[in-house]
Structure 1
Amino acid sequence: MGFISTSCLGGCAQRPGPLGEKTIELDDFDFSTPITDIFPDRYISTEWGENWYRIPTPSTEDGEDGYLYQKETCIDFYDNPFWITYSQMGSCDADELLSMGGHTFSTANFAVTLDGRRIAAAGGCNRNITKEDCDRFITLLTKRYGEPEQGDGEWFPCRLYKWKLKDRTLTFAIHETDEHNELKLERVYHEEDNTVEIREDKRRNRTEGYFFVFDGEWYDRFVRTQSVAKGDICYTY
C-alpha cells in the first residue's frame, strides 16, 4: 500500500464503476453517482439477502466470494432515519479500493441519502500506512486546498485534519495503535500431521490513516448527529 501515479490528479477523475473492479478515485468525486453504479444488483448476496453485498477484490482468490458489505439505515439521536450506509465487514491491506491524491486505501465505505439519489460521504482506511506517507498526503492536500483545520478526534485518539471547501469537506485522521497490552494469537496449520497450532503472535504498533470526503453540508449534519457514527467514519470528527 502506498502511492500510485499522480499524473492524472485534478481533472481526469472518472465516474465510479462497480466497487472492487477498479480503484475508485475520490479526487473531484461525483456525489451524484447512483449508488447502484458502485453496488450493482449482481453484487447482492444470494446467501444473506438484499441488504448484503459480496464485493470481489484483487485479493479475492479463485473460488472465494469476496468481502461482505451491509446496507443499513442509520438513525439520528431522535430515532429518525438519517442516511443509508454501505459498510465493509472485512479488508486486506493489499487491496486498493479507493484513491485520493494518488494515495490508496484498502477499505471503502459509503453513506447515501435516504432516497438513494445522492452519495453523502465516501472514504476508507489504510491500516498500515507510514508516518512519511501521512506527511506527504497532508502536504499534497494542503497545496491543493490550503491549510487544514487541526484537532483531536472526539471518539478515538487520533490527530484530525479537515479541509472545508465550498462544495465538500475532506477529513484525514491519523491513529496510532497501541498493542502492548493485547494478546495476539496466530493460527498455524501443520500439513504433515493435519494439526492446527495456536500460538502467541508478535505484537506491533502501527499507524492507520482514515480519509473521507463529504458532500456539501453533510459533514456538519453528520457531526451534529453523533449517534449514527459507526465503523471507519467514526474517525472523521
Structure 2
Amino acid sequence: MKNIITILLLLSTAMFTSCYGQTKPIGEEPLNLESFDFDTKILDLYPEKNKSKEYNGYYEIKGTVHSQLVAKDTTYINEYSENKKAIGLEYCQKSSTSIDTMAVFENQQFQKVNVATTINGTIKVINAVADEITSKQCDGLITKLVKKYGKPKKLKNNWNETFTIYEWTTKNKIIRFVSAFDDESTTMKIVIHKENKTIASGEKEPHYVGYLFIINPLLKAEVFGKMKTGDFVYLDEKMD
C-alpha cells in the first residue's frame, strides 16, 4: 500500500509540474513575464491554428472584443545591400484595444506583445506594451523593479535621447523598461454616434506608453544594437 501511495504522489507531482510549466498561446490567457521560460517554443505562443485564413503571413490572437493581428517578418542586417543576411524572425502585434490584457508583469497589464526569435526559432526577446498608462503607474513599476532587483543601470535611448532606459540584469533574464509621452498630436480620434448617425472629432487624451523588454541573456549579442523595427526601437541604447 505504501508503494502504491508513493507512485500516486509521484504521478500527481509530475502532472502538476507539467500543467504549471505549460505556456498557453498569447491571447488565451495573459502571458506571465515574471516566470517566462526562454525554452518556450514559439509554436506554443503562436500555434498553427492561429494563422490567419484571410491575411498571408499573419496570426490572429484572441482579444476581448475581436481578434488582434500579429505579423510574422524576417529581419536582416544590411537589408538593402548585396550582403543582406537574415538574422531572425519577429512576431509584431499590429492592433490592440485598451481592454485587452495580453501579458502581465509585477501586476502591470500590457495590451500588446511582440516576440523576436533567432532563425531557428529560439526566443531572444519579448516586448510588452502598456498603452495609455499614467506617470504614476510608470513610476510604480520602476519602484517595484528596484525593490526586487536593485538599482538599475540608466541608458539613453538611441532612437530618442530624451527617453531613459532602465535596465536590470538577473541570472536568467535582462529587463529593460522605457516610457514615452504621447500627446496625441498625430492621432485622429473619431466618435461615431450610431443613434444620431453623426460623426465627430474626439478629444485628445495625452498619456504615457510603457515598453517592457524581457531579454534572453544567452542571446543578448543578437538583441542589443540589432533591433531596429517597430516597438523594438525603444530597446536600443545610444552608444558613446
Q: TM-score range by the shorter chain?
A: 0.7 to 0.9
Q: Which has the higher helix share?
A: 2
Q: Which amino acid aligns with 1:59?
A: V
| Change in 2 beyond 3 A, CA 1:57/1:139 | same
- Aligned counterparts of 1:91 and 1:219: Cα–Cα separation in 2: 28
Match runs of 1:4-153 below 5 Å: 14-49=21-56, 51-60=57-66, 66-77=67-78, 79-116=84-121, 118-153=122-157
Q: CA deviation at 1:196?
A: 4.7
Q: Does 1:173 align with 2:172?
A: no
Quick one: distance in 2 between partners of 1:58 and 1:190?
A: 21
Aligned length: 213
Change (3 A) 1:89 1:173: same
TM-score by length of 2: 0.81
Q: CA RMSD in A?
A: 2.1
Which runs of no fewer than 5 residues in structure 2 stay unpaired? 1-19
Where 1:174 maps in the other structure, the secondary structure is strand
- Using the size of structure 1 for normalisation, the TM-score is 0.82
Distance (whole Å) between structure 1 residues aligned to residue 60 and residue 71 of structure 2 = 9
Give the 3-state SS of the residue equivalent to 2:224 in structure 1.
helix
Structure scoring higher RCO (CA < 8 A, sep ≥ 6) equals 1
Which residues of 2 match residues 150-165 of structure 1 at below 5 A? 150-156=154-160, 157-165=162-170
2:12 alignment partner in structure 1:
none
For the Cα contact (< 8 Å) 1:131–1:207, is it kept in 2? Answer: yes
Q: Which amino acid aligns with 1:232?
A: D
Cα distance change, pair 183–216 in 1 and its aligned pair in 2 (3 A): closer
Q: Identity of aligned pairs, percent?
A: 25
In the TM superposition, residue 217 of structure 1 has moved relative to its aligned partner by 4.1
What is aligned with 1:211?
212
Q: For the structure 1 residues 202 and 37, does the alpha-carbon distance in structure 2 shift closer, same or farther, using more than 3 Å as the test?
A: same
CA distance in structure 2 between the partners assigned to 1:46 and 1:28 by the alignment: 32
Report the 3-state secondary structure (helix = DSSP H, G, I; strand = E; otherwise coil) of the residue aligned with 1:31. Answer: coil
Q: Which moved more, 1:150-159 or 1:92-101?
A: 150-159
Which amino acid in structure 1 is aligned with residue 30 of structure 2?
T
AA at the equivalent of 2:231: D
Which 5+ residue runs of structure 1 have no aligned equivalent?
A: 1-12, 61-65
Task: Give the letter aligned to residue 46 of structure 2.
Answer: F
Distance (Å, rounded) in 2 between the aligned partners of 1:204 and 1:22: 29
